[in-house]
A and B are shown apart, each in its own frame.
Chain A
Amino acid sequence: EVQLVESGGGLVQPGGSLRLSCAASGFTFSNYWMHWVRQAPGKGLVWVSRISADGSDTRYADSVKGRFTVSRDNAKNTLYLQMNSLRAEDTAVYYCARAEYSGPPTPPDHWGQGTLVTVSS
């Protein structure tokens, strides 16, 4: 069974940092592209970042570019999101999700339950 379990969320002050983790199991992690998607309380889904299967190619939404860094450790089957210079508008549930890559990009097909990040003083 495919499982994605996020951790690392919590309360952080504006300007602070946080690192999220996503532990993957039940599939060959190193074969999949991985995404971070967030959802502010009561709002819609917003794509944040994605990383290629080998970690060599990363992309970010403009709203987080230069502040967030996505990475992965395929030996540990774990995805990370380092979040710096956090702002109140970064408050959201952060989901990790996997996407198959066989040439063209594909939509994320399995998602974790999410971890809540709250940026507040």
Chain B
Amino acid sequence: DIVMTQSPDSLAVSLGERATINCKSSQSVLYNSNNKNYLGWYQQKPGQPPKLLISWASTRESGVPDRFSGSGSGTDFTLTISSLQAEDVAVYYCQQYYSLYTFGQGTKLEIK
């Protein structure tokens, strides 16, 4: 099974500042035949279901603000929020879909 490990577990960032969340997989999620990373990022606010932000490691879903960006390849990935807004307070999860599906443990993002 592929294990996904996020860091940090929690993060406090000032409004307008950059937030960075890391995700590491125990094996590569890059599929060589199509050169795609099978990695997604979700945002979950309290009392709500998860919302898909990014798929294929770096493709923003429709309607997701461009302050959210994803990067990385192979086993190491990053979700960056370029300028934190109050509505971005949430728990963020990475998920691999290369071999079945596994989520990271989550990163709680708060305002400093």
Cross-chain contact B50 with A46 (CB below 8 angstroms): no
A113, chain B: closest CB distance, angstroms: 6
Known: A104-B34, A104-B38. A47 touches B52 (CB 8 A): no
Q: Report which residue of B31, B50, B103, B106 has the largest number of chain A beta carbons within 10 angstroms of its beta carbon.
A: B50
CB neighbours of B97 from chain A (8 A)? 105-107
User: Is B100 at the interface (CB under 8 A from chain A)?
Assistant: yes
| Total A-B residue contacts, Cβ distance less than 8 Å | 55
Complex CA–CA separation, A78 to B104 (angstroms): 29
Per a CB cutoff under 8 Å, which of A47, A104, A111 touches B102?
A47
Interface residues of B (CB under 8 A from A): 1, 31, 34, 36, 38, 40, 42, 44, 48-52, 55, 61, 91, 93, 95, 97, 100-106
Q: What sequence of 0s and 1s flags, for each residue 97-110 of chain A, a beta carbon within 8 Å of any chain B beta carbon?
A: 10000001111110
CB neighbours of B50 from chain A (8 A)? 37, 45, 95, 111
CB neighbours of B105 from chain A (8 A)? 44
CB neighbours of A109 from chain B (8 A)? 52, 55, 61
Complex CA–CA separation, A50 to B102 (angstroms): 12
Number of interface residues of A (CB under 8 A): 22
Complex CA–CA separation, A108 to B44 (angstroms): 14
CB neighbours of B93 from chain A (8 A)? 44-45
A-B contact pairs, 23 of them (CB 8 A): A44-B93, A44-B105, A44-B106, A45-B50, A45-B93, A45-B95, A45-B106, A47-B100, A47-B101, A47-B102, A50-B101, A61-B100, A62-B1, A95-B49, A95-B50, A105-B38, A106-B97, A107-B55, A107-B95, A111-B49, A111-B51, A112-B49, A114-B49
Q: Report which residue of A107, A108, A111 has the largest number of chain B beta carbons within 10 angstroms of its beta carbon.
A: A107
Q: What sequence of 0s and 1s flags, for each residue 37-55 of chain A, a beta carbon within 8 Å of any chain B beta carbon?
A: 1000000111100100000
Complex CA–CA separation, A106 to B34 (angstroms): 14
B23, chain A: closest CB distance, angstroms: 13
Residue in B closest to A96 when the chains form the complex, CB atoms: B49
Residue in A closest to B103 when the chains form the complex, CB atoms: A45
